[in-house]
Amino acid sequence: MSADLQSSSLKNISESKLCEYMGTDKLIEKVTFEAKRATGKSGNGQVPADFYPTYSGMANTLGGTVVFGLEEIHTKEGETRFKVAGIKNPEKVIDQLFSTLNNRSKVSLNLITNDHIKIVPVLDTSIIKITIPRAEREQKPIYLNQNPINHTYIRNGSGDNLAREEDVRLMIREASTQTTDAEILKHYTIDDLNPQSVLAYRNLFRITSPSHPWNELNDEEFLQRIKALNKDRSKNLSGITKAGLLMFGSDQIITDHFPYYHLDYLEKHSDNPKIRYDNKISSGQGTWSGNIFDFFREVNRKLLQNLDVPFRLRGRQRIDEPAYSEVLREALVNSLIHADYTGSAPVKIENYPEIFVFTNPGDMRRPLALAKEGGISDCRNRILQSMFNHIGYGDQEGFGIVTIYEKWKQQTGDEPAYTESSHPVMTTLTLKRNPVLLKGEAEPIKVKLETLKGEVEPLKVKPETLKGEASEKDKLLTLLSNETKIRINEVGKRTNPEFMKEIIREICSQEDFTLDELCIILGRKNRTTLYDNYIKKMLNEKKLIKTNPDKPTSPNQKYKTVLSQKEKSK
């Protein structure tokens, strides 16, 4: 080594200075950066043997940058600095690099081109900057020595690590162009699906598409149309699909096939640090079905109920929900349809005073920069995506993330943040809340149910019994908004009392109804129970009034919502 080079190698540069040399203003993250001396025994430069595990690991994880001609050092003060060793003959090193990367017996696939390599003058020598692209889903795994099971690497905080066999097999499955939720499950039948979940889904489908011919089908035929049930003629196999099990099954049955399956919703609005959460919904609680569809319905309601806009009125007409609620719903649907349900991490939705956090197992199948451009959908679970689309939720045109970014920033001024982790593989979306704009101040937009524009046909609750004449319930529902009809279908036998009061107020804010009419709308057979448990209490609380107070026991007595000053001003 020359005296000049020896002199330069005694010098060191800071991380910020190295970023300047390399033409980037970003700080270096350990998982996406590696410094290698790479001078070889002669000092002229040589590709080190440990570069190729790093290449495999970065390509299979997040991509990254490797710099030849540097040594990373850590000062006592905890600062990271780099000692410059330099590469005398960088062109020779680059030729050696390409020779090995293009050798299929050594490396499964070369992702690096001349555009990914740059010789950078530093002090009085040179270093080589190598940008390793993140491999596309269809290209993974990137492995060495013709052995994907034993020579596939991934990156984490401790550097290059051999991937577990299950992680490698997951990459291989993910590389397929087929959706992951279409597989027909042996030994599972329609009896393994929760009938209440199927009924609730069909009711929402009828509201979204009231004149659709599928409304006339029986349950089995309907489930075949949405591919919850399917038949593989080549294998002579019929049964429920993975999507059908996830969407409509029960937790105990779902986990028989997906042992890591878990859904969590955590909500905290208390300032008390000793309280971990104010509310929790978990698929394994055993008090509800635990499937994706019922989780979506309840969490969707929870995300919006604390935003100070349970419903908004202008006079007695309901105003459609604001734009940020569409973003929250899109983020929730995205978390569920893009999740890898074979992964070890749960789907977790967190609702805190400052932020919303949506986490799902599995990485993003398209790079974030491309996903933000929109126009191409690459969903991990396309049948689940289609099922949500049938009831008016989710985006199948590849603009879901575009909607999240544009509308959230427009409404709150804050940019959504996506992050990915590799152990376990997870994708997380964080949305910062703006306390002013998330209190009903934002401009309202229409609910994303294109099929419900303008006037809709009466809701067909039991199509096989309706022969050209609408039922009494259908007639009553025509007096209500489309959003209210959807919320009515969330009313079950064991509905939360506060939610029941809320929906009664919403119904009676749009039209005056008798007790019998409310029983019909809400599907309640016992009028006395409805009156004693809800109507009477709401009258005492001045949340409802009688329209004919002079005849309090009249069978034609109707009830009307009392609006607060706050509601009147909206």
pLDDT tens for the chain, residues 1 to 570: 444 444 444 467 777 777 887 777 666 667 889 999 999 888 889 999 999 999 999 999 889 999 999 988 877 777 777 888 889 999 999 999 999 999 999 999 999 999 999 999 887 889 999 999 999 878 999 999 999 999 999 998 768 999 988 889 888 877 765 677 889 998 899 999 999 999 999 988 988 888 999 999 999 999 999 999 998 877 788 899 999 999 999 999 999 999 999 999 999 887 777 788 888 999 999 999 999 999 999 999 888 775 654 454 444 444 455 667 888 999 999 999 999 998 888 999 999 988 999 999 988 766 666 666 665 667 889 999 999 999 988 765 667 788 888 888 887 888 898 888 877 888 999 999 875 545 443 333 333 333 333 333 333 334 444 333 347 888 888 888 777 887 787 777 667 788 889 899 989 988 899 999 999 999 888 888 899 999 999 999 999 999 988 888 888 899 999 877 666 555
Please indicate, yes or no, whether residues 477 and 444 belong to a single structural domain of this protein: no
Please indicate, yes or no, whether residues 426 and 327 belong to a single structural domain of this protein: yes
Query: What is the sign of the dihedral through the CA atoms of 196, 200, 206 and 212?
Result: negative
Residue found by looking up tokens 């971990």 in the block: 276
Which pLDDT value is given to residue 76?
Answer: 74
3-state SS, one letter per residue, for 420-474: EEECCEEEEEEEECCCCHHHHHCCECCCCCHHHCCCCCCCCCCCCCCCCCCCHHH
Please indicate, yes or no, whether residues 513 and 562 belong to a single structural domain of this protein: yes
- Any idea what the CATH number is for the domain that residue 149 is in? 3.30.950.30
- Any idea what the CATH number is for the domain that residue 414 is in? 3.30.565.60
Which pLDDT value is given to residue 131?
Answer: 95
Please indicate, yes or no, whether residues 111 and 231 belong to a single structural domain of this protein: no
The closest of 413, 412, 410 to 437, measured between CA atoms, is: 412
Please indicate, yes or no, whether residues 335 and 423 belong to a single structural domain of this protein: yes
Strands 513-514 and 558-561: antiparallel
> Considering the domain boundaries, does residue 153 fall inside one?
yes
Please indicate, yes or no, whether residues 27 and 147 belong to a single structural domain of this protein: yes
Torsion of CA 321, 327, 328, 333, to 10 degrees: 120
Please indicate, yes or no, whether residues 26 and 153 belong to a single structural domain of this protein: yes
210, 275 contact by CB (below 8 A): no
Beta strands, E only, 107-146 = 117-122, 125-132
436-440: long-range pairs with CB below 8 Å, 24+: 437/324, 437/411, 437/412, 437/413, 438/307, 438/308, 438/324, 438/411, 438/412, 439/307, 439/308, 439/309, 440/307, 440/308, 440/309, 440/312, 440/322, 440/570
> Considering the domain boundaries, does residue 458 fall inside one?
no
561 exposure class (CB count in 10 Å sphere: 0-12, 13-18, 19+)? buried
Please indicate, yes or no, whether residues 484 and 404 belong to a single structural domain of this protein: no
185, 439 contact by CB (below 8 A): no
**292 backbone dihedrals φ, ψ, rounded to 5°:** -65, -40
Consecutive H or E run containing 189? none
Which pLDDT value is given to residue 333?
Answer: 94
Burial 522-546 (b: 16+ CB within 10 A, else e): bebeeeeebbeebbeebbeeebbeb
The closest of 387, 510, 521, 392 to 453, measured between CA atoms, is: 392
Please indicate, yes or no, whether residues 221 and 139 belong to a single structural domain of this protein: no
> Considering the domain boundaries, does residue 297 fall inside one?
yes
> Considering the domain boundaries, does residue 457 fall inside one?
no
49, 144 contact by CB (below 8 A): no
Q: What angle do CA 218, 224, 225 make, to 5 degrees?
A: 90
Does pTM surpass 0.75?
no
DSSP helix/strand/coil, 127: strand
> Considering the domain boundaries, does residue 322 fall inside one?
yes
Please indicate, yes or no, whether residues 393 and 510 belong to a single structural domain of this protein: no
Which pLDDT value is given to residue 299?
Answer: 93
Question: Measured between alpha carbons, how far is 521 from 526 in angstroms, rounded to an integer?
Answer: 13
Q: What angle do CA 426, 429, 430 make, to 5 degrees?
A: 130
> Considering the domain boundaries, does residue 183 fall inside one?
no
Question: Measured between alpha carbons, how far is 167 from 249 in angstroms, rounded to an integer?
Answer: 26
> Considering the domain boundaries, does residue 184 fall inside one?
no
Domain extent, residue 37, equals 3-174
* Domain finish residue from 140, 174, 208: 174
Spatial neighbors of 435 by CB under 8 A, at least 6 apart, are none
Strands 12-14 and 279-282: unpaired
Query: What is the sign of the dihedral through the CA atoms of 137, 142, 146 and 151?
Result: negative
Structure tokens at 289: 């079905």
Residue 482: alpha-carbon gap to chain centroid: 26
- What type of residue sits at position 541? E
The closest of 406, 336, 421, 339 to 371, measured between CA atoms, is: 406
Q: What are the C-alpha distances in Å from 266 to residues 159, 297, 350, 353?
A: 33, 15, 5, 12
Question: Measured between alpha carbons, how far is 124 from 85 in angstroms, rounded to an integer?
Answer: 11
Structure tokens at 86: 């330099």
Number of domains present in the structure of the chain: 3
Structure tokens at 25: 């203003």
Q: What are the C-alpha distances in Å from 426 to residues 138, 167, 212, 340, 357?
A: 19, 13, 38, 9, 12
DSSP helix/strand/coil, 13: strand
Strands 263-267 and 237-240: unpaired
